[in-house]
Amino acid sequence: MRKSFFKNKRILITGGTGSIGVKILDKLLRFSPKEIRIFSRNEYKQYQLRYKYSNEDRIRYILGDVRDRDSVNNATKGVDMIFHSSALKHVPFSEEMVEEFVKTNILGSMNVMRAALKHEVPKTISISTDKVVDPANLMGLTKAVQEKIFSSHSLQRKKSKKMSFINVRFGNVTGTQGSLFPIIYHQIVTKKPITVTHPDMTRFFISSDEAIDLILWATLKGNNGETIIKKMKATTVTRVADLFLSVLGIKKSYPVKFTGVRAGEKLHESLITEDNLFRTKEKSGYYIVRPYTSGESVVLSKRRPKFKLEQFWSGNPDNFLTDTEIKRYIKNYLTEHKLKNIII
């Protein structure tokens, strides 16, 4: 990691009070930036950060919403890079409240893109999800549009060579707000049944530290228009629940309730689409999907892809985490959040 890259830089983090935004802040403070701007609409969480970093004068707190073009534009003035982590992300809500997800994930991203172009911000990193691949829900659809918004710069005739827009694509980040790990832990400590939608459902998992490493690697190594994805592993949600009980020292007889697949959910996820196969390479444990070039047609391409689509499928047993790896994720989550290791 080239710490000098971030030295004396002015950095904007949209959604800066969210789980990923705070992690980015924690990491970047170690690299001697000149200023980090925390942009979010959550006043209480900004208050909490002010308290946590009461002795830190490099942080500037800005209340605002990515939906508000003027707020985003003002927050962007004079920055050297943007980490765009502001988003609505919960699938069931997206199916019920379509307009809200469009406003934040699509229109909000357009505002960030416009502001970055207006102020000629050298580097913008857009944080996305594996749910953009063949999306079955509105959340995935809106994030797929977000990726297109930022990768589109590479196709513009008058693009600035001084600017780059890069997407990073996550799986399920362990321990983030509303994600699987805290839900299972909360259900156990409140003595409620663990709810699992379907016994065969699989998901890709990535720790918050791995997610930040991906973001920073993309910042340093990524090129304009690229989408960068960690080479992640997957497992069944049922296996995570079973091993949570094991780590916490609870009997296997603890109740698990299968609730059925929710609207917009898929049994399995993928990391890339079929047409991405022709534009994907692997480097340093990451997949790099290059952007389309002008006039390119994947359908007519005679090249044979280097990878097979099943390599990127969460339901492929070759991609499964071992029990030891899953337990390590669980223990790291418990340690990081100072949670009890044993429930009596």
Instruction: Return the active site residues.
Output: 131
Gap between the Cα atoms of 287 and 302, Å rounded: 22
Tell which residue, 184, 81, 63, has the closest CA to residue 123.
81
Spatial contact of 88 and 141, defined as CB atoms under 8 Å apart: no
- Compute the residue count for the chain: 344
Query: What order of strands is seen across the sheet that includes strand 286-289?
Result: 59-63, 35-40, 10-14, 81-84, 123-129, 164-170, 227-230, 286-289, 280-283
Which backbone phi and psi does 45 adopt, to 5 degrees?
Answer: -70, -30
HEC letters along 24-79: HHHHHHHHCCCEEEEEECCHHHHHHHHHHCCCCCCEEEEECCCCCHHHHHHHHCCC
DSSP string, 12-25: EEETTTSHHHHHHH
Gap between the Cα atoms of 194 and 184, Å rounded: 6
Here the tokens at position 308 are: 């097979």
300 burial type by CB count under 10 A (0-12 exposed, 13-18 middle, 19+ buried): exposed
Gap between the Cα atoms of 108 and 17, Å rounded: 16
Gap between the Cα atoms of 329 and 33, Å rounded: 30
